[in-house]
């Protein structure tokens, strides 16, 4: 067989082989993007400015003992990116208003079956791990079933997931900014990363993602969120700061994705130099709180100075066509 034919044969064999999930590195910076099942965007060629893709979402199934994947064909497409890019692809299970967690986690049998199904999905799709986005254990704010036992059951769930996934797969979770609803000291041995959802903590006339405390900051700031997680027992090198690529606005304002906001000509950009946060004003009124390159650069500096693991953002599609925000995050987190 000629060398040319050997190369062609090897290429064909590689394409036919199932995707293999690589071992998760426990060092190095994290730049993670949530990519959703209800949009068509694909992070190409932007895999070069990402370390992780979190696919949103999987859900707890109706029998509370396994997982259903939204648009599985899309998850397969994302996993295919691993052939040509050094990137981790993770299934995120849950999301706001996603129920079934309390019922599933309430018994050892269901936890074990759920964890076993997570392992099946990881292997079947060639993924690198699982991200649990239960919003939130013991809380019914999102209109889901909850129980006071959820916090302990969440710990037991993470233990079962780690046992099922083994050491080579990534296990992470998304947490509320002020570090409520989770026993962090108890889950710390089982998780690789904790993604702090540092957004949605305020509406105009307050910021929803301020870095520092000012008179316009919302319920919690990024600085306060980090401290809350540290006080709760999670080491800084497992903490990832979540940032929004969208804004929150007054009623009737319109699309708040960053890519849409920068096209507006009827608003004035303002800067809160204490909070390190931008906001938009119309007719003298604070109408939209959002994130931009300057505020992200300040947050990247904060992440590196404090020793946090990196940054994640919700969600990929909200950026502008030039990738202004995702490029800012990548440069800020990975530069020396």
Q: Where are the domains of the chain?
A: 20-244+292-334
Residue 332, CA distances (Å) to 43, 47, 62, 293, 326 in order: 19, 16, 42, 10, 10
* pTM across the whole model: 0.92
The pLDDT profile of the chain, 336 residues, written as one tens digit per residue, is 454 454 444 334 434 444 444 445 557 999 999 999 999 888 877 799 999 999 999 999 999 999 999 999 999 999 999 999 999 999 999 999 999 999 999 999 999 999 999 999 999 999 999 999 999 999 999 999 999 999 999 999 999 999 999 999 999 999 999 999 999 999 999 999 999 999 999 999 999 999 999 999 999 999 999 999 999 999 999 999 999 999 999 999 999 999 999 999 999 999 999 999 999 999 999 999 999 999 999 999 999 999 999 999 999 999 999 999 999 999 999 998
Q: Which of 110, 115, 206 lies closest to 160 in space, CA to CA? A: 115
Domain 20-244+292-334, what architecture?
Alpha-Beta Barrel (3.20)
What is the torsional sign of CA 108, 139, 136, 233? negative
pLDDT computed for residue 262 by the predictor: 98
**HSE on the CB side for 201, CA within 13 Å?**
26
Residue 131, CA distances (Å) to 89, 160, 175, 243, 316 in order: 10, 14, 11, 17, 17
SS3 assignment, position 58: strand
Q: Are 265 and 304 in contact (CB under 8 A)?
A: no
Q: Are 89 and 82 in contact (CB under 8 A)?
A: yes
d(CA 174, CA 101): 14
DSSP single-letter state for residue 83: G
């Amino acid at each position: 067989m000629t060398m040319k034919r050997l190369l062609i044969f090897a290429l064909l064999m590689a394409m036919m082989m199932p995707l293999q999930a690589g071992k998760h590195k426990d060092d190095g910076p994290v730049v993670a993007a949530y990519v959703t099942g209800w949009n068509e965007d694909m992070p190409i060629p932007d895999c070069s400015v990402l370390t992780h893709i979190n696919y949103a979402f999987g859900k707890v199934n109706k029998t509370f003992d396994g997982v259903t994947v939204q648009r599985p064909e899309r998850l397969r497409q994302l996993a295919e990116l691993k052939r040509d890019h050094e990137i981790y692809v993770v299934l995120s299970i849950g999301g706001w208003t996603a129920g079934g967690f309390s019922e599933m986690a309430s018994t050892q049998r269901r936890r074990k079956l759920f964890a076993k199904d997570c392992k099946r999905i990881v292997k079947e799709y060639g993924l690198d791990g699982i991200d649990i986005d239960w919003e939130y254990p013991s809380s019914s704010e999102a209109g889901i079933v909850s129980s006071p036992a959820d916090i302990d059951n969440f710990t037991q769930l993470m233990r079962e997931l780690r046992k099922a996934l083994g050491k080579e797969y990534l296990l992470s979770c998304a947490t509320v900014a002020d570090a409520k609803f989770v026993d962090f000291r108890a889950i710390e041995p089982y998780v690789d990363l904790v993604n702090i959802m540092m957004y949605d903590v305020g509406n105009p006339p307050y910021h929803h993602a301020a870095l520092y405390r000012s008179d316009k900051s919302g319920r919690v700031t990024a600085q306060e969120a980090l401290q809350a997680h540290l006080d709760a027992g999670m080491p800084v090198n497992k903490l990832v700061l979540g940032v929004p690529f969208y804004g929150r606005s007054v009623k009737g304002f319109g699309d708040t994705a960053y890519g849409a906001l920068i096209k507006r000509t009827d608003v004035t950009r303002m800067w809160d130099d204490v909070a390190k946060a931008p906001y938009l004003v119309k007719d003298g009124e604070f109408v939209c709180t959002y994130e931009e390159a300057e505020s992200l650069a300040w947050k990247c500096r904060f992440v590196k100075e404090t020793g946090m693991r990196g940054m994640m953002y919700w969600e990929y599609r909200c950026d502008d066509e030039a990738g202004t925000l995702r490029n800012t995050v990548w440069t800020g987190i990975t530069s020396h």
